[in-house]
Amino acid sequence: MKPSFFHSSLSLLFSILFQTLIPQPASALPLSTSGRWIVDEITGQRVKLACVNWASHLETMVAEGLDKRPLDEISKTIGSMRFNCVRLTWPTYLVADSSVEPSGSITVHESLRRLGLNASIIGIYTYNNWILDQTLIQAFKAVVSNLGSNHIMVILDNHITKPGWCCNYHDGDGFFGDEFFNPKDWISGLTKMAEMFKEDYNVVGMSLRNELRGPRQNVPDWYKYMQMGAEAVHKANPNVLVILSGLDFDTDLSFLSNKKIELSFTTKEVYEMHWYSFTNGDTWNLNANDACSSVISSVMSRAGFLLSHGWPLFMSEWGIDQRGENNNDNRYLGCFLATAAALDVDWGLWALQGSYYLREGIVDAEEFYGVFSLNWERKRNQTFLDRIASLRSPFQGPGLNHALHTILYHPTSGMCVNPTESSELSLGSCDSAKGWRYTKEKLIQLQGTNLFARDFGPGYNVTLSDYSPDTTMKWDLISATRMHISSMNETDLCLDVGRDGYTLMTYQCCLGEADQDCDPEGQWFKMVSSNRPVLQYVLY
Ligand SMILES: *[C@@H]1O[C@H](CO)[C@@H](O)[C@H](O)[C@H]1NC(C)=O
Ligand SMILES: *[C@@H]1O[C@H](CO)[C@@H](O)[C@H](O)[C@H]1NC(C)=O
Ligand SMILES: *[C@@H]1O[C@H](CO)[C@@H](O)[C@H](O)[C@H]1NC(C)=O
Ligand SMILES: *[C@@H]1O[C@H](CO)[C@@H](O)[C@H](O)[C@H]1NC(C)=O
């Protein structure tokens, strides 16, 4: 999409203003919680986690990609893609004593040599040769500290016990007491890591354990062991956020609606959940609209409800095959983005890595969910990154005190509805999005004006107009997702985007019903509540 001059100059001006108005992370840490928000402990202002997952838990126990690009360039690129945080994964073996094989006391070189990864050794020698003779622990610390010098926050995620690809229901590494999941070793590992990174100001949180799962998972043991893990981490480093994941591959925290976990500390407790298209595999074969509605209710009852109970929820893994070829992923993405925007949650994209040294027996395995390409030189899909961009800044929360308004968010493009200088409605930046108000009378009013969105019939521009009492200004929220905005003048017309990719028009509603050969997602507009600053609209 090519923004008009009006939009680009406005967003430039705005991004300058914005830097000073929206709390920027990673300068003043540590973090704590205030109700459902994660905040800067000193200023009390919201810090929204916009993380990317970086794997360091596979067989090598080395952060992926050091054979492809210098560490500092990787960190700088994470910042330039405007992620403010990395969820860095580690296996418990990294800090096991040296009687466990392999442990973190062997060198990077040795770890790769044992696995026969000669090409990776040559790659690391080329790009990060200083790290080859460091122990795995030293190398892990070097990654954390380099991220810190690039102002990237880190969440240390205990991903698995035994290094390797995660996760499988029957891998014996999924729940407390499993073959590879001794709770004592886990507590000792968490304690060591918490102590080791106490002085690293950019380590802001620790995920206690990734994706609990398996035939032995049960709620009583969840309370028992998660409490022990949380207390151990807090005791070793009282500054970090303690992040608790749910059962069933971290998709289920529903049991918390009945019983709170007892902890000796406050303002550090955060929950995490994972949400992929394969979380609800078959559902996405339905039409995207019905599927989205059903998946959202499941997500809300399994974890989303925590927000309204005053607990922060970190969507710590989500993502898609960025080649754009997986239909379920494509249907899921718009639904995820709309929900993540409306809930204004903290999040962590899977994944950073474009490749793995070794994954499931495959050398130099490609990660199609990764933002980097196979050789880590380019971004895999800039369109995807642009589409998720508007989720990075907070819409609401402590520190954002501007008048409450509604943003009309279009998840298919990742853009928001703004008026043009000639009073048409058009998609543009969400960072400088105009404030709307959806009134009791079902009018869509441009906040602070007496102008309203008006339908001029199918294939015509939707335009801002002075109030008129007819039905061309009334809009209903319809369909299973209520993300279709239908004209009440002609009820089979819905708000849509014209062929130019940004001018708003009305077209026949596409609800994805069996007799309709169309994609309902293009007509999704999510009303997102926001306290962001809004520039005055000047009608030329
Ligand atoms: C890897 O390098 C070692 C030492 O240079 C050599 O002995 C071994 O054969 C190589 N392995 C492969 C798979 O090329
Ligand atoms: C990038 O992702 C979009 C969907 O988000 C897809 O349509 C497109 O084909 C992808 N591009 C590449 C180069 O993979
Ligand atoms: C409103 O609906 C009426 C009746 O369906 C139609 O004749 C008229 O053209 C519509 N007006 C607009 C602006 O679409
Ligand atoms: C519709 O809006 C676009 C974008 O603002 C504008 O270029 C176009 O001339 C408008 N079309 C009509 C018929 O007014």
Question: Alpha-carbon dihedral of residues 43, 49, 50, 56, nearest 10 degrees?
Answer: 130
What is the CATH number assigned to the segment(s) 405-530?
2.80.10.50
The alpha carbons of the chain give a radius of gyration, in whole angstroms, of: 24
Give the closest residue (by CA) to ligand 2 atom 14: 323
Is the predicted pLDDT of residue 1 greater than 60, yes or no? no
Q: Is 426 within 8 Å of 496 (Cβ atoms)?
A: no
Q: What is the pLDDT of residues 438-470, one digit of tens each?
A: 999 999 999 999 999 999 999 999 999 999 999
List the chain domain ranges. Answer: 42-100+140-391, 405-530
Give the whole-number percent of the chain exceeding pLDDT 90.
88
pLDDT band at 432 (very low <50, low <70, confident <90, very high): confident
Is the predicted pLDDT of residue 540 greater than 70, yes or no? no
Would you say domain 42-100+140-391 falls under CATH 3.40.50.2300? no
Q: What is the pLDDT of residues 138-164, one digit of tens each?
A: 999 999 999 999 999 999 999 999 999
**What is the structure's pLDDT at 511?**
93
Q: Could you give the CA distance from residue 376 to residue 73 in angstroms, rounded to a whole number?
A: 10
Q: What is the pLDDT of residues 310-343, one digit of tens each?
A: 999 999 999 999 999 999 999 999 999 999 999 9
Distance 290 CA to ligand 3 centre (A): 29
Q: Is 371 within 8 Å of 63 (Cβ atoms)?
A: no
Q: Could you give the CA distance from residue 521 to residue 338 in angstroms, rounded to a whole number?
A: 10
Q: Could you give the CA distance from residue 373 to residue 478 in angstroms, rounded to a whole number?
A: 40
Give the closest residue (by CA) to ligand 3 atom 5: 490
**What is the structure's pLDDT at 538?**
64
**What is the structure's pLDDT at 513?**
82
pTM: 0.94
Q: Could you give the CA distance from residue 510 to residue 466 in angstroms, rounded to a whole number?
A: 29
- Give me the amino acid identity at 170: H
Q: What is the pLDDT of residues 365-414, one digit of tens each?
A: 999 999 999 999 999 999 999 999 999 999 999 999 999 999 999 999 99
CB distance 488 to ligand 3 below 6 Å:
no
* Better-scored residue on pLDDT, 340 or 515: 340
531 contact partners, CB below 8 Å, separation of at least 6:
395, 396, 397, 400, 401, 402, 403, 404, 405
Q: What is the pLDDT of residues 235-268, one digit of tens each?
A: 999 999 999 999 999 999 999 999 999 999 999 9
Give the closest residue (by CA) to ligand 4 atom 11: 461
Q: What is the pLDDT of residues 173-216, one digit of tens each?
A: 999 999 999 999 999 999 999 999 999 999 999 999 999 999 99
- Return the ligand 4 atom nearest residue 461 CA: 1
Distance 460 CA to ligand 4 centre (A): 8
Ligand nearest to the CA of 500: 4
Give the closest residue (by CA) to ligand 4 atom 5: 424
Give the closest residue (by CA) to ligand 2 atom 13: 381
- Return the ligand 4 atom nearest residue 460 CA: 13
Is the predicted pLDDT of residue 67 greater than 50, yes or no? yes
Which of 1, 383, 386, 415 is the best mutation target for the ligand 2 pocket, counting ligand atoms within 8 Å of the beta carbon and taking the most?
A: 383
> What are the C-alpha distances in Å from 310 to residues 40, 256, 340, 374?
17, 12, 17, 41
CB distance 281 to ligand 1 below 6 Å:
no
